[in-house]
Chains A and B, each alone.
Chain A
Amino acid sequence: MIEFNDVTYSYRTGNHNALDHISLNFRQGEWTSVIGHNGSGKSTLVKILMGVLEGYEGEIKVDGEVMTEENLPDIRKRFAIVFQNPDNQFVGATVEDDVAFGLENNGVGRDEMVNRVEEALRSVNMLEYRTHEPSRLSGGQKQRVAIAGALAMQPDLLILDEATSMLDPQGRREVLEILREIHREKLTTLIYITHDLAEIGVSDHAVVMKDGRVINEGTVEEIYQDTDALVSSRLVLPFTISLADRLLDGCYMSYDELVERL
C-alpha cells in the first residue's frame, strides 16, 4: 500500500541523515511494527508520511501513486494517527464529542456521524463511557478513545506512534488487545511505532531501525534470529526471549514453550 523508495532526510540542525536511504513496503491489511531506539529515525518516518516534514530525497508511493505536494492533502485524509501522550489529544467535553470531532471537521452528516461514533466506541469497548469526561479516564481508556477517534474517520491506514509508551502495564495490555481485535476483524492496515520489543509479537511484519537505517526486516520470528543485532540497536529483549536466548537453542518462543523446554 505504501512504498518508500530510497528515502533520505536530514534535519537542518543535524549533521547526519535522520533517514538514510530507506526502502520499505507497508502492505495492505498487514500490521507492520517499526522498532527502534530514540533517534533511530522511526518518528521521522511517520512525520514524512504524514506530510509534516518536507524536502526529503527519494520517493514515496501510495497505492502506486507517487506522493507529491499536490496530492498530499488527499492522501493524508486516508491516514489516521494516534500519538504517545493520552492527555494531549482531547478536545471534546465528553468521550463521544471527542470521537465526533474529526467527523464534524470533515463535514460528515449528523446521522452518519452518530452511527460512526457509536461503532468506533463499540470497537474499542468504550461505548458505556460515551458521556464521560475524557480527563477522568485511565491512561489505557484515554488511548482507546483516541483510537476510536481515529477509526471513526474510516482511514485506510492507522498509525500508532508509541501509543502505549506512557501507559502502565494494564493500559498497555488493554490497548494492544483492542488493536489486535480491530486488526483481526477489519483487516485494518496498521503501522505500529514502538521502542519496546515486547509489543511486536502480534505483527505480521517487523522493521528494525538504527541510526536512520533499516537494519533488519521480516516476520517477528526472523527478527529474533539475530538477537545481537537487536541488543546492539539499544533494544531490550523481552523476558521470555532473553532467557530462551541464553539458556536454549533458538529464542523465539512463547512463555509456555519456555517453561516446557527448560
Chain B
Amino acid sequence: MNIQLEKLTSIYHENTPFEHLALNNITTEFKEGTYYGIIGHTGSGKSTMIQNLNGLLLPSYGEVHIGDITLRRKTKQRIIHLVKKRVGMVFQFPEHQLFEESVIKDVMFGPKNIGMDEETAREKAEYYLKLLNVDRALFDIPPFDLSGGQMRKVAIAGILAMEPEVLILDEPTAGLDPLSHIETMQLFQKIQKEMGITVILVTHDMNDVYEYTDEVKLLNQGNLIRSGRTEEILTDAGLLQKYDLEVPDIVRLTSDLGKKGIEFPKIPKNREEFINLYMKWRDGYAE
C-alpha cells in the first residue's frame, strides 16, 4: 500500500488572527515496504505531516491517498476509522497512554478497537509482547508497575498488535537510555524487514536517520525541501547545515578523514562498516 500526498496544505486556525500555514502545497509519495525518515528543524511541519497520514488531521486543501482511501477536508469519521487500521502511530512517550488494568489487556485494546475478536486479539498481543522480549510473567500485572523502558515496549506492542501496513514513529527513543535506544531502533529495523511494512520515522537524531532509513523527506517551514535516498541527503553536509540539522557522526568523520587523504570507496553506513573500511585502507587493500 502506497501513500500519496497531493498538493497537501495544512493550515491551523484558518481565518483567525492565529492562522498558521503548517504545510504548504506538498506533493510526495511513501512507497510500500520502505523505511522513511522525516527530518527538519522544530516547526518545520514534521508532526503536522504525520498527523495527516493517519487521519488525526484532515487536509485544509489537497488530498492524502492511503492506498485506495482518500482523505480530504470533509472526509467522514467512518472513513478515517479505516485509515487507523492501516496506519499505526507510536507517539512520543507512548507509555503515557497506557491505561488498562493489565499489560495484556492494554496490548489487546487496539486490536479489539479495530474489530478483532477477543481470541485473535489475545494471540496477537502475546505474539508481539514476546517479540519485544516482555516476559510472560508480566502479562497480568498493571502496566504502571513496570519500569519506563518496559512500559514503552508494552505501548509499542499495542500498536504492532493491530498489524498496521504503515508504522509511524514519532521520536520513539526520546528519554530512553543509550542501550535501550539502540535496542529499540534495531527492533524497528527487524520488524520493518520481517513484516515488510512501511516505516516512517520522525526524529532529531540524524545518526538514526542515516543508519536505519532508506529514504528521507526534508521539511523546512512547511515546505518540502528535498525528498530522496538517505545516502544522498544525509551525506550533504552543506544542505543539512543550511537547515540547522546535524551531520551524522560517521559522515562527518569520513569527510574529515577524506581531507587528510584517507579515502574510502563509499561512505560507511554505521560504526562496524567504518571499522571494516578503515582496516582495509590501513592494510593497503583500499585499491
Choice from A37, A197, A246, A262 contacting B262 with Cβ under 8 Å: A262
A261 CB to nearest B CB, Å: 10
Choice from A37, A138, A239, A243 contacting B177 with Cβ under 8 Å: A37
Complex CA gap A195/B249 in Å reads: 20
| Interface set, chain B 156-196, CB cutoff 8 A to A | 171, 174-175, 177-182
* B257 pairs with A262, CB closer than 8 A: yes
Choice from B147, B204, B279 contacting A38 with Cβ under 8 Å: B147
Size range of the chain A interface in the assembly: 20 to 34
Chain A residues lying within 8 Å of B260, measured Cβ to Cβ, are 259, 262
Is A169's beta carbon under 8 Å from chain B? Answer: yes
Q: Pick the interface stretch among B32-40, B48-56, B116-124, B270-278.
A: B270-278
* B174 pairs with A166, CB closer than 8 A: yes
Is B253's beta carbon under 8 Å from chain A? Answer: yes
Q: Specify the main secondary structure of chain B where it touches its partner.
A: helix
Complex CA gap A227/B279 in Å reads: 21
| Interface set, chain B 254-287, CB cutoff 8 A to A | 256-257, 260, 262, 271, 274-275, 278-279
Is A39's beta carbon under 8 Å from chain B? Answer: yes
Known: A242-B271, A243-B271. A236 touches B175 (CB 8 A): no
* A234 pairs with B179, CB closer than 8 A: yes
Complex CA gap A243/B278 in Å reads: 10
* A243 pairs with B147, CB closer than 8 A: no
Chain A residues lying within 8 Å of B278, measured Cβ to Cβ, are 247, 262
Is B205's beta carbon under 8 Å from chain A? Answer: yes
Choice from A39, A196, A239, A258 contacting B147 with Cβ under 8 Å: A39
Is A235's beta carbon under 8 Å from chain B? Answer: yes
* B275 pairs with A197, CB closer than 8 A: no
Complex CA gap A165/B180 in Å reads: 12
For residue A237, which residue of chain B has the nearest CB? Answer: B178
Chain A residues lying within 8 Å of B178, measured Cβ to Cβ, are 195-198, 235-236
Chain B residues lying within 8 Å of A198, measured Cβ to Cβ, are 178
Chain B residues lying within 8 Å of A15, measured Cβ to Cβ, are none
B278 CB to nearest A CB, Å: 6
Mark each residue of chain A from 229 to 242: 1 if its CB lies under 8 Å from any CB of chain B, else 0: 00000111001001
* B274 pairs with A243, CB closer than 8 A: yes
For residue A84, which residue of chain B has the nearest CB? Answer: B175
Is B246's beta carbon under 8 Å from chain A? Answer: yes
A185 CB to nearest B CB, Å: 28
Is B142's beta carbon under 8 Å from chain A? Answer: no
Is A133's beta carbon under 8 Å from chain B? Answer: no
| Interface set, chain B 99-145, CB cutoff 8 A to A | none
* B275 pairs with A196, CB closer than 8 A: no
* A239 pairs with B257, CB closer than 8 A: no
Is B62's beta carbon under 8 Å from chain A? Answer: no
* A259 pairs with B249, CB closer than 8 A: no
Chain B residues lying within 8 Å of A195, measured Cβ to Cβ, are 177-178
* B249 pairs with A239, CB closer than 8 A: yes
Is A106's beta carbon under 8 Å from chain B? Answer: no
Complex CA gap A133/B279 in Å reads: 53
* B249 pairs with A168, CB closer than 8 A: no
Is B75's beta carbon under 8 Å from chain A? Answer: no
Known: A243-B271, A243-B274, A247-B275. A196 touches B177 (CB 8 A): yes
Chain A residues lying within 8 Å of B147, measured Cβ to Cβ, are 38-39
Mark each residue of chain A from 195 to 206: 1 if its CB lies under 8 Å from any CB of chain B, else 0: 111100000000
For residue B175, which residue of chain A has the nearest CB? Answer: A166
A147 CB to nearest B CB, Å: 18
For residue A166, which residue of chain B has the nearest CB? Answer: B175
B34 CB to nearest A CB, Å: 25
Complex CA gap A258/B180 in Å reads: 27
Is B27's beta carbon under 8 Å from chain A? Answer: no
* B257 pairs with A259, CB closer than 8 A: yes
Complex CA gap A195/B181 in Å reads: 11
**Closest 4 A-B residue pairs measured CB to CB?**
A236-B178, A195-B177, A168-B204, A166-B175
Where the two chains meet, the residues of A that have a C-beta atom closer than 8 Å to any C-beta of B are 37-39, 84, 138, 165-166, 168-170, 195-198, 234-236, 239, 242-243, 246-247, 255, 258-259, 262
Where the two chains meet, the residues of B that have a C-beta atom closer than 8 Å to any C-beta of A are 42, 147-149, 171, 174-175, 177-182, 204-205, 246, 249, 253, 256-257, 260, 262, 271, 274-275, 278-279
8 inter-chain pairs at a CB distance below 8 angstroms, sorted by A residue, are A38-B149, A38-B177, A169-B205, A196-B178, A236-B182, A243-B274, A259-B253, A259-B256
10 further interface pairs, Cβ-Cβ under 8 Å (given A84-B175, A246-B275, A262-B260): A38-B148, A39-B147, A168-B174, A169-B204, A234-B179, A235-B179, A239-B271, A243-B253, A243-B275, A255-B253
